[in-house]
Amino acid sequence: MIPGIRAIELITKAHNRSDFNCGKPQLNDYLKTQARYRNKKDITRIFVAVSDDNSNRIVGYYGLTSTSIATSELSDKMIKGLPRYPITCALLARLAVDVSFHNKGLGGVLLAHAWRNVLEVSKKLAIKSMIVDAKDQEAKTFYLHHGFIQLTSGPMRLALSIDDIRKFFR
How confident is the model over 7-17, as pLDDT tens digits?
999 999 999 99
**Average of per-residue pLDDT across 118-146:** 96
Residues 6+ positions from 113 with CB-CB distance below 8 Å: 8, 47, 62
Would the pTM count as exceeding 0.85? Answer: yes
Distance from C-alpha of 151 to C-alpha of 144, rounded to nearest angstrom: 12
pLDDT at 60: 98
CATH topology classification for 5-168: Aminopeptidase (3.40.630)
Side-chain half-sphere exposure of 138, counting CA atoms within 13 A: 9
Going by their DSSP bridges, the two strands 58-69 and 5-10 should be labelled as unpaired
DSSP class per residue in 60-84: EEEEEEEEEE-GGGS-HHHHTT--S
Q: How many CA atoms lie within 13 A of 2 on its CB side?
A: 22
| pLDDT for the residue 44 | 97
* % of the chain at pLDDT higher than 90: 81
pLDDT at 71: 84
Q: What is the pLDDT of residues 68-125, one digit of tens each?
A: 998 888 777 777 788 888 899 999 999 999 999 999 999 999 999 999 999 999 999 9
Cα gap 121→72, rounded to integer Å: 24
Who contacts 109 (Cβ-Cβ below 8 Å, separation ≥6)?
1, 2, 5, 8, 49, 60
Predicted confidence at residue 81, as pLDDT, reads 80
Predicted confidence at residue 73, as pLDDT, reads: 84
- Bridge partners of 102, per DSSP, are none
Q: Where are the domains of the chain?
A: 5-168
What DSSP state is assigned to residue 101?
G
